[in-house]
Amino acid sequence: MMNSLRLVRSAHAGVGDVDVRMMQRAILLARSAALAGEVPIAAVIYRGDEVIAEAANTREREADPTGHAEIVAIREAGRKLGEWRLEGCSMAVTLEPCPMCAGAAVNARLAKLVYGATDPKAGACETLFNIPSDTRLNHRCEMHGGVLSNQCVELLRAFFRERRAEQKRAKEATRAADAAREVRTTASPQVSSAETSSNAKRRSA
C-alpha cells in the first residue's frame, strides 16, 4: 500500500497520501454505484484526514439530470458544515468533472480538485475547458488529474461493456419473442381452416 502511494505521489506533484486514499475511497464507492445500475462515478469531499461528504451518481435512481456525484457531495458537505463556502476542503472524483460540476467546485470555493479519468466528451477541468483554473473567475482550485486513472477508466469500461451486453441480450430476446408471435400468427389460420373443414363434414353427414 505504501509503495503504491509513493508511486502515485511521485507521478503527481502536489498529490499527497490523503488525496490518494480519498481517491481509493471514491473508487470503492463508484463500484457500489455500478452494482445499483448507476454509471460508476463517485466523489469524496475532505478536509485533511476528515471525510466531510461523499456521494456517487444518483441520476438514474432519482431521475435527476443534476444528480452527478460532485453535485450531490457538494450539497451534502454544505449541509454538514452549515455553509456554502467549502474553504479548505478538497474533492477527489473518479472522472474529470463536467462544466456543471467544475463550476460548482469553483462556486463552493474548494481548495483542491483531484480527479482520476479524463473525460473526452465533457471534461471541463483540462480536456475541453479549464473552468477551475480560469483566471477570469473569482476563485480558482488547485487541480490534479490522472490520479489512479487506470482503475477509474477500467471501472467505466467494465460498466459500459456489461451495459452493451445487456442491451444485446434484450434485443435478442425481443427478436425471439417477435419470431415466436409471427409463427403463432401464421399457424393460427391453418388450424382454423382445418377445423372448419372438419365441422363441415360432420354437418353434411
Active site residues: 70
| Residue 29: closest CA among 20, 39, 17, 16 | 39
CA atoms of 139 and 188, how far apart (whole Å): 72
Greatest Cα-to-Cα distance within the chain, rounded to the nearest angstrom: 99
Please give the Cα distance from 28 to 22 (Å, whole number).
Answer: 10
Which one-letter amino acid corresponds to residue 203?
A: R
